Structure 1
Amino acid sequence: MTENAGIRHGSVPGSRGRTDIADVVVEKIAGMAARDVRGVYALGSGFARSMGSMRERMPGAGAGKSVTRGVSVEVGEVQAAIDLEIVVYYGTSITDVAGAVRESVISAVERLVGREVVEVNIMVSDVKLPEEEDDEEEGQRVQ
């Protein structure tokens, strides 16, 4: 009989090495999770949205809305803290929307990133009124 001459490792392959996750990854996940909540019109302040809208129209600036606008994170080895600035639709309960955003963001970040979310601070910076034009329509003189 022959002996097993293969190399045996005492640990599973997933524990050999380190995985670093950039802050922008957590920002994008948190931003997407917040935008998916019913009652959220946008993330970021009115000024940030206006500047972002202008930036997106510039050639070479990339297409689509910035997922990280209005999102700020601090990510450690095992924990994360998240700050969000949101705009809600008029007529929705701000406390209900904020609670749903908090729950959605915590769930997404903990599931996808594997970091314990210690806090999600939400700043409601504006309310989208029904008669207000959308950001995409602002500045257009001709259709």
Structure 2
Amino acid sequence: MDALHTDRGDTTIEEGVVQKLAGMATREVPGVFAMGSAGRRAFSALAERIPGSQTNVSGGVSVEKGERQTAIDVSIVVEYGISIVEISNNIRRNVIQSVEHATGLEVLEVNIHVTDVHLPGDESAPDEPKPDRLQ
């Protein structure tokens, strides 16, 4: 028995819950400019323009989850000048702590994919497509 499986019943957690927790924990780390690939960010920006839509906090996060364990992949854009090694360690620490505390699942690994570097002077917002690309 463990925290999710007791003699009084079982608790199940959907992958989407783990994705949201991991996404929020990643965004809390200083130096993370945005989440996901350029295509994913552009799609999210368009989707968020629909009235009544919600911000997608799980964009850039994929999860493999079993009954007691999970593995998480995170795609990020980092701020220029930030140590990728340092930010990766900080993301891993924050995601593991957040997911394990909130869910009781054991996080086996957090893989981080750096998809881009945000340069100073690039004034476009992280989740908005550039105006000259979309009309």
User: If the TM-score is normalised by the length of the shorter chain, which range does it land in?
Assistant: 0.7 to 0.9
Q: CA deviation at 1:136?
A: 4.1
Alignment of 1:107-122 (within 5 A): 107-122=97-112
Q: CA deviation at 1:23?
A: 0.4
Contact 2:25 2:91 in 1 (8 A): yes
1:25 aligns with 2:17: yes
Distance 1:15 1:35 in 2: 37
- What code does the residue aligned with 1:58 have? I
Distance 1:44 1:22 in 2: 21
- What code does the residue aligned with 2:121 have? E
1:104 aligns with 2:94: yes
- What code does the residue aligned with 2:60 have? G
Distance 2:79 2:50 in 1: 28
Could you tell me which residue of structure 2 aligns to residue 95 of structure 1?
Answer: 85
Match of 2:31 among 19, 24, 39: 39
- What code does the residue aligned with 1:100 have? N
Q: Over residues 69-106 of structure 1, what are the superposed CA-to-partner deviations in whole Å (9 max), with x where a residue is unaligned?
A: 00000111111100000110001111100110011000
Compare CA radii of gyration and give the structure with the larger one. 1
Distance 2:50 2:57 in 1: 17
SS of corresponding position for 2:108: strand
Whose relative contact order is higher, 1 or 2, with alpha carbons under 8 Å and at least 6 apart? Answer: 2
Alignment of 1:1-143 (within 5 A): 15-60=7-52, 62-63=53-54, 65-132=55-122, 133-134=124-125, 135-136=127-128, 138-139=130-131
Q: How many residues align?
A: 125
Q: Which runs of 4 or more aligned residues in structure 1 lie more than 4 Å from their structure 2 counterparts after TM superposition?
A: none
TM-score under structure 2 normalisation?
Answer: 0.86
Q: Per residue, is there more strand in 1 or in 2?
A: 2
Q: CA deviation at 1:15?
A: 3.9
SS of corresponding position for 1:77: coil
- What code does the residue aligned with 1:45 have? S
Q: CA deviation at 1:130?
A: 1.2
Q: CA deviation at 1:131?
A: 1.2
SS of corresponding position for 1:91: coil
> Which residues of structure 1 form unaligned runs of 5+?
1-13
> Which residues of structure 2 form unaligned runs of 5+?
1-5
Q: CA deviation at 1:58?
A: 2.1
Distance 2:47 2:23 in 1: 19
